Structure 1
Amino acid sequence: MWRAVASNALTLFIVLFLLGGGVLIWGQRQYSAPGPLAEPICLRVEAGWTMGRVSRALDEEGAISSPTILRLGAQYAEKSNLLKAGSFLIPPGASMEEIVDVVTRGGRSTCGTELNFRIGVVSAELQLREVDPATGRYVEVLAFDPAGEAIPDEYSELRAAPDLRFRVTLAEGVTSWQVVEELKAADFLDGEVAELPAEGSLSPDSYEVSVGTGRTALIAEMQSRQARILDELWARRADGLPVETPEEALVLASIVEKETGVPDERRRVASVFVNRLRQGIRLQTDPTVIYGLTQGKEPLGRGIRQSELRRETPWNTYVIDGLPPTPIANPGRASIEAALNPDDTDFLFFVADGTGGHAFARTLTEHNENVARWREIEAERQDQAQ
């Protein structure tokens, strides 16, 4: 009798063991298999949520086949306690394993609403944008200049969105004075900037911030990022450049930045200035004249007068030899790289060609011919405008 009981118990144990193993294998396959989500969604995870709360939200959206399997899978992968608050884009067909990775990976949110304060060379603009889950791209909802326009009525409501993220973006070629002045209009930042940062020391880039971020702290991050870029690119500079320090390279890069309208021309424009420095020819570049007149505090808003080309300022490269004493703007990474690794050319001149780019020349005769063509283009445009 007891042998029969023992045999039956052993058989039952084996069956249960095999069933358990089968269930485990089935659960693992369910966890890693493509999910039922047909369209992308933006999943909002609030601070303090648990993986259980997330699994229920996903189940309500029809994104997963089993909240239990998601919770157990996250626990088995030791990710249950790594949940991040934010808004996350969940793509169609995402497996539970992929979803858990998205909401625990860290980093910034991948969807939702974003307020981007863009500081440009001419003006600034507050842009409220939302990610379209179907495309993963931002769609502009509202845009206005907070310093020069009336604040739209709907701004306050959009500004209070629970998943709103904040970003400050600097355009290449902005001046330090412009940055400090425009940041005063960013109502989500705090504090004053006591000292104007050195020209050229701020990295034109995009910075994610939060409500209450200090303006001084943000400026410090911009400076730190620019210093890292300069150190990295200085270590990889070409041999034989006529700049002796990283600071001189930054001055040259700022001139390249202000003279370049077409990104692909940066290295060629840089080669012109490098060739002139090597040969002891004055740089004779208009943006340096303008900086000497405005100190980077405002656009000139008109053409340069002949008297201003002859006016002596520390930055007027029609008057001084070599480089100005400071940068004339904040150059981006590409212009710094161009200044430190210019094209190998024998060009000494360039002038606008009417397309946004430049016509380059090796001799003064060639240059004068290019200038004459540019004057013709200008005259034609004036006639068409009348």
Structure 2
Amino acid sequence: MFTRLPLSILAAILVLTLGQAASAQSRIKDIADFEGIRDNMLIGYGLVVGLDGTGDDLDAAVFTRESLIGMLQRLGVNARNDDLDTENVAAVMVTANLPPFSRQGSRIDLNVSALGDATSLVGGTLLVTPLLGADGEVYAVAQGSLAVAGFKAVGAAAAISRGVATSARIANGAIVEREVGFELNQLTRVNVTLRNPDLTTAKRIADSINLRLNLPVARLVDPGTVEIQVPANYPGDTVALLTEIEQIPVQVDQIARVVIDESSGVIVMGDKVRVSQVAIAQGNLTIRIGEKLQVNQPNPFGAGETAIIPETDIEIDEDDDRRLATLPAGVTLQELVDGLNALGVGPRDMITILQAIKAAGALQAEIEVM
């Protein structure tokens, strides 16, 4: 039965959770973002030193060699010769997210990834690295010791690895040097952007805001945007307005959708999924053939020769216990899963059945295959 499969527990939890959440409400802050309140992506190129012979090969990674020479020359060291050979340096790309309203002197976390043929960043230290925004300006400067979660151990006849040793993090590894100019309190209009655009949900957000403020200040622009006009009783205090709005509960509408991950056999179905009347049969003719070899040994001093005689055992399983099941029109998610489970359907077969139901026009939902 399907209940013996590990994924059945996950499916049951998803069914119960979705069923209970159908009538639940979410705060606006949990389903939407406000204009201007967002992260900004930063990127930089730097050098990691202090590696234990696991860095870049300077002959193969030319960019690492030139970067190392340039850094040493800026420090007054002439290293431009053919004898420069070290495996303790690696070129890396540094990425970070600059949170909204970050001020000068505040710190942010970093992600560091090897760029060349370094095999591990364990024990390394990132040298001063400027982090640039999309406009080419420097917004933060990074430096610090790397924290690597992965490792790799290699022996003469075996090797073991865990995680990725060429990626690392530096907690609070960068200092913000430039602020992103944005005066939220000076806005007279604010856009609320839905994370999952939907006409019904957007309309409910606009109606809920107007009801809470008792003013027609919110209007639906498109399925993903609700525009709010800052009312006269919030002059220069848009932050207070958004603080009140983000706490408003809204019932989120869902699209009838079935998401299938064929590689892992995971199936997630929304609460709005419905199935028209359809008959389902699941079962296959299975033939098993087993071969055994028997040895025919003659009696001592008797006539005859030793011979090997094959013995074949054939079994046929027609799945006679499987029956054609009929699902009535308009069944819910719970009824659909119960019906398929009653047939002893596993996750892989369930994927095929759902796609077949969709092809027959009986599944009132869209299927998204990952």
Q: TM-score, normalised by structure 1?
A: 0.21
Of structures 1 and 2, the one with the larger relative CO (CA 8 A, separation 6+) is 2
Identify the structure with the greater strand proportion: 2
**Largest Rg, 1 or 2:** 2
Identify the structure with the greater helix proportion: 1
